[in-house]
Amino acid sequence: MTRTRQLAAIMFTDIAGYTALMGSDEQKAFELLNQNRQLHKPLIERYGGRWIKEMGDGVLASFPTVTDAVSCACALVQGCGKVNGLCLRIGIHLGEVVFEDGDVFGDGVNIASRLQALAPPGGIWVSEAVYQNVANKKDISTKLVGEETLRHVREPVRVYQVQPMRHKPKPTEPDAPRNEPPKAAPPKSIAVLPFVNMSNDPEQEYFSDGIAEEIINSLVHLKDLNVAGRTSSFQFKGKSTDLRELGLKLGVSTVLEGSVRKQGNRLRITAQLINVENGFHLWSEKYDRNMDDIFAIQDEIALAITEQLKVTLFGKDKELITKTYTQDAEAYELYLKGRFYISRRGGYTLIGLQNFKQAIALDPNYALAYAGYADAYLVCAAYGFFRGKDVMQEIRQAAETAIRLDSSLCEPYCSLGHYYPYFEWNWAESKRNFTKSLELNPRFAQAHSLYGLAYLAQVEGNFAEAERHGRIAVKLEPLSAIDHADLAWTLYYARKFEEALAFALTGVELDPYSFLSHRLAGLCYMALNRFEEAISTFKHLVKISNRHQQAVNGLIWAYCSNGDVEEANVLMDELKERAVTEYIGGSYVGLSAAHLGDLDTAFHYLEQACDDREPYIIQLNHSPSVPALLREDPRFQKLLDRIGFPK
């Protein structure tokens, strides 16, 4: 038995979010673990370190000097940017340790392990002994975190955060969101997690989700409170996530979580407000009420949050918090179902559409139900479930009715902002309504995202301003696959293909079934001449979308770009056969015909798309998906003139 005692720099690393990933996608978790191993081993060797052992998703290594350990840690953090989904926490301590039979023991190991556990995702936390050795290194910046009391360590440890000096990426590297340690969350900030459905009926999930969403909506207007967006908060649904990690990802200091049991007309709702830093409960309550009391319960929870977080209520804030949009509990349930289903996209949107319609039938004065009805029809038309000309009147009437009933709502103005460019080609009204929506609620991520994409990028070609709004949306909803995909689309129009791909792939990581994210990734691969990857991406999208027409058309474009014309023609024949029994959008098929070199057929379909008021037709003005052969044909400019884009 060989035992030696010596001074060494001990480094612990751990994959942030690995446990949750293992629970949701075991295969992906194992692949990530292997990529983590491939990143660590050569870097540890390069900096003169010793690989001690691997513990689950963690790695323990030792180094002869502190500089080597910290330099290796910085290289690891930077290397994470090249591995999709990999984000490390790292802790380093310098101390006397015992090496015995290939393992290492001692307080130095324990302290490094505790520092790693406390570090934020993407962060490197070191002890003061390490800091003293690297404080003057020009390629490394440090800042004091504070004193931490570590488990099984007698005295508090002074902790510092190390940040490697970053270099600008090469032109071929995507300028994507990086794994930089996030800023401290404001004290008055909250994420409302989806409530747990404790009912025997899993179909009641819409109700538990809906309660959380309504509490978010009542709080988001408060200027003195930062509220994490609904989509980002709901990313943690059903996952056992460390509260500290959740707080860092969402930039909040508190979390509201709860549960709902609904049986007939009886409700049992529990709610608790938790400090994410220490896990302490700031407030908790249990409600045993009837369904008719649901609005009062939501008001009480929202007001309790403002009281516990000492939120200042200005002007009509209290009125906004307790505002009830319907007194009909059944209509309210149908509204919650509608929102639940349209957030799932795809065919579920058709179910949501019917739920909103039923809610309106029960309460014709329910403004939010009309706004939801307009949004559902917009999404259905965008996905090709209906001809635009067949539903445009329904969309406009629903949104305008919502505004007539309650002009303080931001949602219907956003719906109209989205409606006018896609269906009426009315650019001025689009801009006016998007602007009004953002005036009413500057934190409405959907309005930022759609204003950037559907108007500024696709209509005006103002890509810089479009990107600014897209980035605001991502900041407001950092875990929303849809907002990442919309920003990717904007960057794609701006010909920033590497950046667009990075955001699209982040969207895929956030939601492996995100139709938009996969689609944008495929288009970006095509633009970058990575045709095999484009084909693979669109094949996968065709499969997971049940051969959605937009996915099939994307695969046709990818095949044509790669010279696989026979494969493309087989798919084109499929779409023509399907057009006998279902609506197939002319704008997509028109582009497919153009990619196949058949311009007469292409213009036939594109003119039909204009007649049908297909939403996608306005995207042709700036889209890189338009083949040069089509764009150079004189008929193409006539088509654009017919639409009447602003000069």
**Which of 157-171, 274-288, 303-317, 600-614 is predicted with the least confidence, judged by mean pLDDT?**
157-171
CB neighbour burial string for 582-616, b if at least 16 within 10 angstroms, e if fewer = eebbbbbbbbbbbbbeebebbbebbbbbbebbbbb
Report if residue 510 sits inside a domain.
no
187 and 128 in a common domain: no
Q: Which domain holds residue 628?
A: 529-643
For residues 231 and 95, which has the higher predicted lDDT (pLDDT)?
95
Q: Which pLDDT tens digit goes with each residue over 428-448?
A: 999 999 999 999 988 888 999
For residues 595 and 290, which has the higher predicted lDDT (pLDDT)?
595
Report if residue 506 sits inside a domain.
no
For residues 103 and 617, which has the higher predicted lDDT (pLDDT)?
617
Q: How far apart are CA 310 and CA 592, in angstroms?
A: 58
157 and 19 in a common domain: yes
Phi-psi region of 373 (alpha: psi -120 to 50; beta: other; left: phi over 0): alpha
548 and 432 in a common domain: no
Indicate whether 274 pLDDT > 80.
Answer: yes
For residues 155 and 58, which has the higher predicted lDDT (pLDDT)?
58
Query: What is the pLDDT, as a whole number, of residue 501?
Result: 93
Report if residue 489 sits inside a domain.
no
Indicate whether 283 pLDDT > 50.
Answer: yes
Domain boundary among 407, 426, 442: 442
Domain boundary among 416, 442, 468: 442
Indicate whether 577 pLDDT > 90.
Answer: yes
**Residue 294 near residue 324, CB atoms below 8 Å:** no
Query: What is the pLDDT, as a whole number, of residue 168?
Result: 36
**Which of 99-103, 185-189, 245-249 is predicted with the least confidence, judged by mean pLDDT?**
99-103
Indicate whether 395 pLDDT > 70.
Answer: yes
Number of folded domains that form the chain: 4
**Which of 92-96, 166-170, 319-323 is predicted with the least confidence, judged by mean pLDDT?**
166-170
The whole-chain average pLDDT of the chain stands at 85
**Residue 329 near residue 289, CB atoms below 8 Å:** no
Indicate whether 626 pLDDT > 80.
Answer: yes
Q: What is the mean pLDDT of residues 386-403?
A: 94
Query: What is the pLDDT, as a whole number, of residue 240?
Result: 61
| Sign of the dihedral through C-alpha 32, 37, 42, 45 | positive
Query: What is the pLDDT, as a whole number, of residue 314?
Result: 65
Query: What is the pLDDT, as a whole number, of residue 81?
Result: 77
Distances 618 to 513, 560, 580 between C-alpha atoms, Å: 26, 23, 25
Query: What is the pLDDT, as a whole number, of residue 600?
Result: 96
141 and 106 in a common domain: yes
Q: Which of 186, 187, 205, 188 is nearest to 197 (CA)?
A: 205
341 and 316 in a common domain: no
Query: What is the pLDDT, as a whole number, of residue 174?
Result: 41
**Which of 149-163, 543-557, 595-609 is predicted with the least confidence, judged by mean pLDDT?**
149-163
14 and 151 in a common domain: yes
Report if residue 99 sits inside a domain.
yes
Query: What is the pLDDT, as a whole number, of residue 183?
Result: 58
Query: What is the pLDDT, as a whole number, of residue 507?
Result: 87
HSE-CB for 480 with a 13 A CA cutoff: 26
Q: Which of 206, 330, 214, 199 is nearest to 262 (CA)?
A: 199
Q: Highest mean pLDDT: which of 21-25, 301-305, 552-556? A: 552-556
334 and 309 in a common domain: no
Helix/strand number for the chain, H first, E second = 28, 14
Domain boundary among 298, 323, 348: 323
385 and 312 in a common domain: no
Report if residue 223 sits inside a domain.
yes
Q: What is the mean pLDDT of residues 269-290?
A: 82
Indicate whether 178 pLDDT > 50.
Answer: no
Q: Which pLDDT tens digit goes with each residue over 127-149?
A: 888 887 776 666 677 777 777 77
Query: What is the pLDDT, as a whole number, of residue 180?
Result: 47
**Which of 251-255, 318-322, 407-411, 550-554 is predicted with the least confidence, judged by mean pLDDT?**
318-322
318 and 334 in a common domain: no
Report if residue 373 sits inside a domain.
yes
Q: Which pLDDT tens digit goes with each residue over 346-371?
A: 677 888 899 999 999 999 999 999 99
Q: Which residues pair with 148 in a beta bridge?
A: 157
Report if residue 171 sits inside a domain.
no
By percentage, how much of the chain surpasses pLDDT 90? Answer: 39
Report if residue 453 sits inside a domain.
no
Confidence of residue 121 (pLDDT cuts 50, 70, 90): confident
Q: What is the mean pLDDT of residues 572-581?
A: 92
Query: What is the pLDDT, as a whole number, of residue 119?
Result: 83
For residues 134 and 413, which has the higher predicted lDDT (pLDDT)?
413
**Which of 82-91, 481-490, 524-533 is predicted with the least confidence, judged by mean pLDDT?**
82-91
Query: What is the pLDDT, as a whole number, of residue 367?
Result: 93
Query: What is the pLDDT, as a whole number, of residue 520?
Result: 94
Indicate whether 244 pLDDT > 50.
Answer: yes
CATH for 21: 3.30.70.1230
Query: What is the pLDDT, as a whole number, of residue 163?
Result: 74
CATH for 247: 3.40.50.10610
Q: Which of 194, 6, 25 is nearest to 108 (CA)?
A: 6
For residues 549 and 198, which has the higher predicted lDDT (pLDDT)?
549
CATH for 428: 1.25.40.10
By percentage, how much of the chain surpasses pLDDT 70? Answer: 91
Query: What is the pLDDT, as a whole number, of residue 2?
Result: 65
Q: What is the mean pLDDT of residues 142-166?
A: 72
Q: How far apart are CA 379 and CA 543, in angstroms?
A: 21
97 and 236 in a common domain: no
120 and 269 in a common domain: no
Indicate whether 185 pLDDT > 70.
Answer: yes
Indicate whether 170 pLDDT > 70.
Answer: no
239 and 106 in a common domain: no
Indicate whether 320 pLDDT > 70.
Answer: no
